Amino acid sequence: MKIDLNQIRELLSVVSQTDITELTLEFGDQKITIKKNAVQIAPASIIAETPANAAATHSLQKQISFEPKEVAPAPPPKLEEPVSGGNGFVAVTSPMVGTFYRAGSPTAAPFVDVGDRISVGQTVCIIEAMKLMNDMPAEVSGKIVKVCVDNGTTVEYGQTLFLVDPKG
């Protein structure tokens, strides 16, 4: 079987859209190895070998390189602006992407509610990321003025979770 350039391009495209980091295919005397890392796809190599004859083994290597397209990094997600300035509220933001939970279990009371006074280091919520529950400690003391996220909602890095009045 002879593999043409279009088939190789299609194979590279399919591999680049998956979690596969290395793929090797052999078709008779042809071998294709594709390796990629998190940033880009390494150049692919095609090695064609002629069958061994009685006198000696003769190898022929053909190298075909594909330069990956340069992709501009995606712009950061548009996040809610923390409220500040005239009212003096401080935003408690998410340190990671995950699922926001106000309580330690579905039947438990929320860690904090509007009007509660919090202190630095106090757990204000849990953020689940990759099946790990991460307690979210407060980085500011004050009174909770607003809960900005619904329970069970996916949150982004830097998204405002609570507004705190440090003078409250």
Name the nearest CA neighbour of 36 among 21, 14, 19.
21
CB within 8 Å of 3: residues ≥ 6 apart = 27, 30, 32, 46
Q: Which CATH class is domain 90-165?
A: mainly beta
At 29, phi and psi to the nearest 5? -95, 5
> Are the CB atoms for 60 and 111 separated by under 8 Å?
no
Report the pLDDT value the prediction gives residue 73, as an integer from 0 to 100.
64
Report the pLDDT value the prediction gives residue 86, as an integer from 0 to 100.
44
Residue that the structure tokens 């933001």 belong to: 93
Which amino acid, 150? D
Report the pLDDT value the prediction gives residue 108, as an integer from 0 to 100.
93
Q: What is the mean pLDDT of each run of 10 residues along the chain (168 residues)?
A: 70 74 74 65 44 40 46 52 61 93 93 94 94 92 94 94 91
pTM above 0.85, yes or no: no
Domains of the chain, by residue range, sit at 5-62, 90-165
- The number of residues in the chain equals 168
Report the pLDDT value the prediction gives residue 156, as an integer from 0 to 100.
94
